[in-house]
């Protein structure tokens, strides 16, 4: 497994796997922020004349005392300062929102216990040379224990260090020195340490509608359970947002959760709760769900998950020997993520991922686009493809994912659509089969293909893959 991870380091895969972002207008994400800025400045503009008139009135009266004069002057100064501050805030808001728009350009739709063993750090957004969102001035590496000193000898500050026991490696996060381009640092480290895996700390998004800002404190979300799994149950890992374990949809499910977020910010709940409810329903509450929380949300930015968090989550689920992993998220290629995915696959761990919602002409997104990852697209109950689903040779199967009833973070229900909502059902089917009869990934795919309902043109196609996974129980859907 370690060999599979390290072979990627010097292969030149990095530049080939980091895909360009989708082109598209940035105006739409800017509109709400600009409207808020305009509204704030408008209120200040209306208030300034009122205060000026009050000041003139007070100055004209002969018995104006010093206190009143000071107060009036202070009022005008306060408004002037507020106006100036509003302009500065407006500029900052526009800059942050532009960054947010850039971050979500590749996404057309979109209680935790345990810790990462390090302090949370503020998150600053930047872009890699091809425009994909990354954490600013941060490089992430995978090395074996013997190369740690060589890595530290390059003069970069260590931001975080994490043991990955399932992969037999150490993940080291480094701070880029001032005045040196992040891309140059990545290239220099790859050249200096050819047996290490080095890349940007890319940001990944939900492969579905963007999560609302609904968040709660840790005591309201899923926590580790001391209850043993039910006899005969199988284990499904999910790498997603935090989960509202108290939802009625999950009351009969055993959920074990850990948090792998490394950045400050709120923990969104909607997406992970929806995915967990679909896993529970497809499994008829017969699965133990291991939930890895990787998404965080900061002001002006859509929820995101970093490569660093995804790799740590994959290592945890691999060490827990789950029967399958569901990843309802999508983003650019990254050699660290690819190495971690390959290590899990090499160990016989099936990984199921949503293909993404960037539309028929969208570039392949990862991890679904990696070899041997089971890529899932979404169809409605009439077998019609989800309008925004990605297409491509990496699409393996289709499942119901349009207008699906899911649990939400408010304790109620909603209808949701997207490839994110389709992959959980396939993950359950895969986990159940792997638990009942341990088989190779090749044998598993052969069984799934033989039982899939062919859609579209005869045989495999880039829209539906090998066809619809119909193994019961199917999910409830509404038009």
With a cut of 50, say whether residue 466 has pLDDT above it: yes
Residue 39 has pLDDT above 70, yes or no: no
Structure token pair of residue 291: 């939930």
Q: Which segments of 311-394 are extended strands (E)?
A: 324-327, 329-330, 351-354, 374-379
- 161 near 262, Cβ under 8 Å? no
pLDDT band at 104 (very low <50, low <70, confident <90, very high): very low
State both tokens at 54. Answer: 């009050």
Strand, helix or coil at 5?
Answer: helix
Match 């106006």 to its residue by tokens.
83
CB atoms within 10 A of CB 70: 10
Buried b (16+ CB within 10 A) or exposed e, 369-380: bbeebbbbbbbb
On the question of pLDDT at 38 being above 60, the answer is no
pLDDT band, residue 107 (cuts 50/70/90): very low
Range with top average pLDDT, 106-110, 227-231, 446-450:
446-450
φ, ψ for residue 128 (rounded to 5)? Answer: -80, 175
Of the two residues 204 and 109, the one the predictor is more confident about is 204
Average pLDDT over residues 427-446: 94
Compute the average pLDDT of residues 91-104: 36
Span 66-83, average pLDDT: 40
- Report the predicted TM-score, pTM, of the whole model to 2 decimal places: 0.75
pLDDT tops 50 at residue 424? yes
pLDDT over threshold 70, residue 465: yes
| Res 275: pLDDT | 98
Say how far apart CA 206 and CA 326 lie, in whole Å: 12
pLDDT bin (cut points 50, 70, 90) of residue 90 is very low
pLDDT at residue number 207: 87
Residue 413 DSSP SS3? strand
Side by side, the strands of the sheet bearing 234-240 are 254-259, 287-293, 234-240, 324-327, 351-354, 374-379, 397-400
Q: What is the mean pLDDT of the chain?
A: 79
**Taking the chain, what is the end-to-end CA distance rounded to the nearest angstrom?**
45
Q: What is the pLDDT of residue 296?
A: 98
The mean pLDDT value for 183-187 works out to 95
207-451 has which CATH code?
Answer: 3.40.50.200
Over residues 354-367, mean pLDDT: 96
* DSSP letters spanning 149-198: HHHHTT-PEEEEEEEETTTTEEEEEEEPPTTS-HHHHHHHHHHH-TTSEE
DSSP designation for 398 = E
**What is the dihedral sign for C-alpha 327, 328, 333, 336?**
negative
pLDDT of amino acid 148: 87
Would you place residue 119 in the very low, low, confident or very high pLDDT band (cuts 50, 70, 90)?
Answer: confident
Q: What does DSSP assign to residue 475? A: P
Query: Residue 10 — very low, low, confident or very high, per pLDDT cuts 50/70/90?
Result: very low
Q: Are 143 and 31 in contact (CB under 8 A)?
A: no
R_g over Cα of the chain:
25
Among 16-30, 192-206, 263-277, 381-395, which is the least confidently predicted range? 16-30
Mean pLDDT score, 61-66: 42
Q: What is the mean pLDDT of residues 433-442?
A: 92
The vertex-472 CA angle with 466 and 478, nearest 5°, equals: 90
What are the distances in angstroms from CA 39 to CA 33, 43, 88, 105? 10, 6, 15, 26
Over residues 386-405, the mean pLDDT reads: 97
Q: Look at residue 232 in the predicted model and tell me its pLDDT.
A: 52
- Answer yes or no: are the C-beta atoms of 389 and 456 closer than 8 Å: no
Q: For domain 125-203, give the CATH number.
A: 3.30.70.240
Model pLDDT for residues 189-230, shown as the tens digit of each residue: 999 999 999 999 999 999 865 454 455 444 344 444 444 444
Residue 415 has pLDDT above 90, yes or no: yes
What CA–CA distance (Å, rounded) separates 396 from 376?
6
Q: Is 284 left (phi over 0), alpha (psi -120 to 50) or beta?
A: left
Least confident of 44-53, 74-83, 99-108, 223-232: 99-108
Confidence of residue 324 (pLDDT cuts 50, 70, 90): very high
| 425, 370 Cβ separation under 8 angstroms | no
Q: Quick one: which of 342, 374, 466 has its CA closest to 17? A: 342
- DSSP 3-state of 248: helix
Q: Give phi and psi for 453, each to the nearest 5.
A: -85, 120
Mean pLDDT along residues 26-41 = 42
Using CA atoms, how far residue 197 sits from 131, 136, 149, 167, 471, in Å, is 21, 19, 15, 13, 39
Residue range 129-155: mean pLDDT, rounded: 91
Q: Cβ atoms within 10 A of the Cβ of 55, count?
A: 17
* pLDDT computed for residue 29 by the predictor: 37
213 vs 241, which has greater pLDDT?
Answer: 241
pLDDT of residue 402: 97
Residue 147: predicted pLDDT? 85
Task: Using alpha carbons, select from 114, 478, 410 the residue that is nearest to residue 249.
Answer: 410
Residues pairing with 200 in the sheet: 139
For the segment 67-73, the average pLDDT, to the nearest whole number, is 41
Q: Which residue has the higher pLDDT, 10 or 195?
A: 195
pLDDT of 166 > 50? The answer is yes
Residues 6+ apart with CB under 8 A from 50: none
Is the predicted pLDDT of residue 82 greater than 70, yes or no? no
- pLDDT over 80 (residue 22): no
CA–CA gap between residue 272 and residue 240 (Å, rounded): 5
The pLDDT of residue 94 is above 50: no
């Amino acid at each position: 497994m370690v060999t599979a991870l390290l072979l990627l380091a010097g292969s030149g895969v990095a530049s080939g796997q980091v895909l360009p972002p989708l082109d598209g207008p940035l105006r739409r994400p800017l509109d709400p922020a600009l409207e808020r800025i305009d509204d704030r400045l408008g209120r200040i503009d209306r208030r300034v004349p009122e205060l000026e008139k009050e000041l003139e009135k007070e100055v004209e009266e002969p018995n104006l005392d010093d206190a009143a004069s000071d107060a009036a002057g202070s009022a005008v100064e306060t408004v002037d300062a507020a106006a100036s501050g509003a302009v500065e805030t407006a500029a900052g808001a526009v800059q942050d929102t532009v960054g947010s728009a850039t971050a979500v350009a590749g996404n057309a739709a979109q209680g935790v216990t345990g810790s990462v063993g390090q302090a949370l750090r503020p998150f600053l957004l930047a872009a890699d040379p091809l425009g994909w969102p990354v954490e600013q001035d941060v490089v992430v590496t995978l090395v074996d224990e013997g190369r740690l000193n060589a890595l530290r000898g390059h003069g970069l500050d260590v931001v975080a260090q994490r043991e990955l026991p399932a992969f037999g490696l150490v993940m080291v996060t480094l701070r880029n020195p001032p005045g040196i381009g992040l891309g140059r640092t990545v290239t220099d480290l790859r050249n200096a340490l050819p047996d290490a895996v080095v890349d940007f700390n890319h940001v990944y998004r939900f492969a579905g509608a963007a999560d609302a800002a609904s968040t709660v404190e840790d005591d309201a979300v899923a926590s580790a359970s001391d209850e043993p799994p039910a006899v005969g149950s199988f284990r499904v890992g999910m790498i997603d947002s935090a989960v509202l374990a108290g939802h009625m949809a999950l009351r009969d499910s055993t959920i074990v959760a850990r948090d792998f977020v490394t950045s400050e910010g709120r923990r969104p709940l909607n997406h992970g709760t929806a995915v967990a409810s679909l896993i529970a329903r497809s499994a008829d509450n017969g699965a133990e769900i291991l939930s890895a929380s990787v998404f965080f949300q900061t002001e002006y930015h859509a929820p995101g998950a970093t490569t660093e968090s995804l790799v740590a989550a994959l290592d945890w689920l691999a060490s827990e020997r789950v029967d399958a992993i569901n990843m309802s998220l999508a983003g650019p290629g990254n050699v660290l993520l690819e190495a971690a995915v390959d290590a899990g696959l090499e160990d016989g761990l099936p990984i199921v991922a949503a293909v993404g919602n960037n539309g028929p002409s969208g570039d392949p997104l990862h991890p679904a686009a990696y070899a041997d990852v089971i890529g899932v697209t979404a169809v409605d109950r009439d077998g019609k493809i989800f309008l925004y689903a990605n297409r491509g040779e990496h699409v393996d199967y289709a499942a119901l994912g349009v207008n699906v009833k899911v649990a939400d973070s408010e304790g109620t229900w909603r209808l949701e659509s997207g490839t994110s909502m389709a992959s959980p059902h396939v993950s359950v089917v895969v986990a159940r089969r792997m638990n009942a009869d341990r088989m190779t990934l090749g044998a598993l795919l052969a069984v799934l293909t033989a039982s899939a309902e062919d859609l579209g043109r005869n045989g495999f196609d880039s829209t539906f893959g090998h066809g619809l996974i119909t193994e019961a129980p199917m999910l409830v859907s509404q038009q």
